[in-house]
Structure 1
Amino acid sequence: MKKLGLLFILAVFIACNKEKAPETIHLFNGTDLSGWHADVPDADNNSNIEKSFVVRDSLLVSMGDPRGHLITDSVYQNYRLEVEYRFAGEPGNCGVLVHASTPRALYDMFPKSLEVQMQHGDAGDFWCIVEDIEVPDMVVRRGPKEEWGITEGKKRRIMNLTDDSEKPLGEWNNMLIECVADTIKVWVNDDLVNYGYNCTVTKGQIAVQAEGAEVEFKKIDLAPILKTTPID
């Protein structure tokens, strides 16, 4: 009986001290834009300008114009970011930026970051914004090496791996972005659409764009990763 009692105490001790999995962070709470701030250059000298980002019917809506970014107040590292989105009207351009830092570092608009493209037909492309990343088959997917770069006028786009992962217009798309150390993986509707490594940055803010098209978001959730356990 004493042995059983000791085993029970040991089991309770282990259970109480076992590292708990971190809870998912709802970056968008469905109510307001708490935890975010907008950076819209056209608003610098016009306080009455239309809002680029609003909450409508419990959805976060990027209005497309005026163009700019909605950026988290906090910095994140090692996580899985799940985004559910759809184009509300005409298809167009938008993106999720990870590892964002210096604002307006490119074209006096885009923060230093690595963009995961959401543009209709190209979801999952990487765009290098004063940061860089490598992928397999770089020349095929980025063009001639001598033209690569991370600033204005350079080949900053790295094409994704698929052409048909997006849902038909009007339907919700699920995008999963996994950032672990210097690697980034992207899934669109469960298809692995991009994988990069040797990223020049491993942490930063997260941002969504207003870039010409109205886009609705119903989920932007972040699950921290405590250990290096990437999805296969």
Structure 2
Amino acid sequence: MKNAFVIVVLIVFSLSAKAQTRSLFSFKNFDGWHIDVPALDNNPNGKNPFILRNGMLVSLADPQGHIITDSVYENYRLEIEYRFAAKPGNCGVILHASTPRVLYAMFPKSIEAQLMHKNAGDFWCIGEDISVPDMEKRRGPKKNWGSVDGKERRIVNLTDKSEKPVGEWNTMRVECLGDQIKVWVNGDLVNHGFNCTVSKGQIALQAEGSEVEFRRVDFTPITQLSN
């Protein structure tokens, strides 16, 4: 009887945990998100770089900009399935976004988890900052560090061999808890930052450099980072 009770408790706990996971994107409309594309400021009827196609969210790369959640989030796991369908290029997941257009009159204040082909999992500091082990090896001389234009904003990931070939689906998992951010690509831990200068904000996806398809954007509240 005791064993049966334990099994029931575990099943209920498992179902409860799964129930907390939800998609941040409906893939039917843009509800819960807004688009910030500087090129549309003076031409609101211009080309929107974010479209829905075949049940996917597609970033067309041009004109450049972001699609941003209306809500602010903290302490969560984000799982994104994406692929460069035609040719390799650049894109990113923006974490803890706040003030819009603080860099190059386009990028919001944030920490970026890079999706760029062969560089997935790099951190880019955009008006915010984060630390990792072996900082000078992965970011360059300390005197050059910074989070504004002209400074060393890139923190190189731990492996560039985790991505799949162009055209195949990749999974990026990001866990943000307190002042830490962990990033996995296809199951490999590729970055772990701490002492982040921000712990909450909006989430955004980029239009930058190449067409990218997204078929999953799952969100789960968390209380403890995974190993």
- TM superposition score normalised by structure 1: 0.90
Alpha-carbon distance change, 147 to 49 in structure 1, aligned in 2, over 3 angstroms = same
Alpha-carbon distance change, 158 to 96 in structure 1, aligned in 2, over 3 angstroms = same
Conserved in 1, the CA contact under 8 Å of 2:128 and 2:198? yes
What letter matches 2:210 in structure 1? Answer: A
1:229 aligns with 2:202: no
Separation (CA, whole Å) in 2 of partners of 1:102 and 1:153 = 19
Superposed, 1:126-141 pairs within 5 Å as 126-141=123-138
Alignment correspondent of 1:56: 53
Work out the number of aligned pairs and report it.
215
1:43 aligns with 2:44: no
Is the partner of 1:140 in helix, strand or coil?
Answer: helix
1:85 aligns with 2:82: yes
1:190 aligns with 2:213: no
Separation (CA, whole Å) in 1 of partners of 2:18 and 2:39 = 42
Deviation beyond 2 Å, 4+ runs, structure 1: 19-22
Is the partner of 1:139 in helix, strand or coil?
Answer: helix
Alignment correspondent of 1:156: 153
What letter matches 1:179 in structure 2? Answer: C
Alpha-carbon distance change, 42 to 196 in structure 1, aligned in 2, over 3 angstroms = same
- Deviation string, structure 1 residues 173-219 (Cα, Å, up to 9, x no partner): 00000001000000000000000000000000000000021000000
Alignment correspondent of 1:202: 199
1:219 aligns with 2:219: no
Residue 22 of structure 1: how far off its partner (Å): 6.1
What letter matches 2:52 in structure 1? Answer: V
Separation (CA, whole Å) in 1 of partners of 2:110 and 2:116 = 17
Structure 2 residue runs without a partner (length 5+): 1-11
Residue 21 of structure 1: how far off its partner (Å): 7.3
Alignment correspondent of 1:25: 22
Separation (CA, whole Å) in 2 of partners of 1:229 and 1:152 = 34
Alignment correspondent of 1:73: 70
Is the partner of 2:82 in helix, strand or coil?
Answer: strand
- TM superposition score normalised by structure 2: 0.92
What letter matches 1:51 in structure 2? Answer: N
Residue 31 of structure 1: how far off its partner (Å): 1.1
Alpha-carbon distance change, 22 to 71 in structure 1, aligned in 2, over 3 angstroms = same
Conserved in 1, the CA contact under 8 Å of 2:85 and 2:168? no
What letter matches 1:229 in structure 2? Answer: Q
Is the partner of 1:194 in helix, strand or coil?
Answer: strand
Conserved in 2, the CA contact under 8 Å of 1:79 and 1:178? yes
Is the partner of 1:216 in helix, strand or coil?
Answer: strand
- Deviation string, structure 1 residues 43-101 (Cα, Å, up to 9, x no partner): 00002211110110000000000000000000000000000000021110000000000
Residue 25 of structure 1: how far off its partner (Å): 2.4
Over aligned residues, Cα RMSD in angstroms?
1.6
Alignment correspondent of 1:112: 109
- Deviation string, structure 1 residues 94-144 (Cα, Å, up to 9, x no partner): 000000000001111100000000000000000000000000000000000
Is the partner of 1:200 in helix, strand or coil?
Answer: coil
Separation (CA, whole Å) in 2 of partners of 1:170 and 1:114 = 26
Separation (CA, whole Å) in 1 of partners of 2:145 and 2:19 = 38
Identity of aligned residues (%): 63
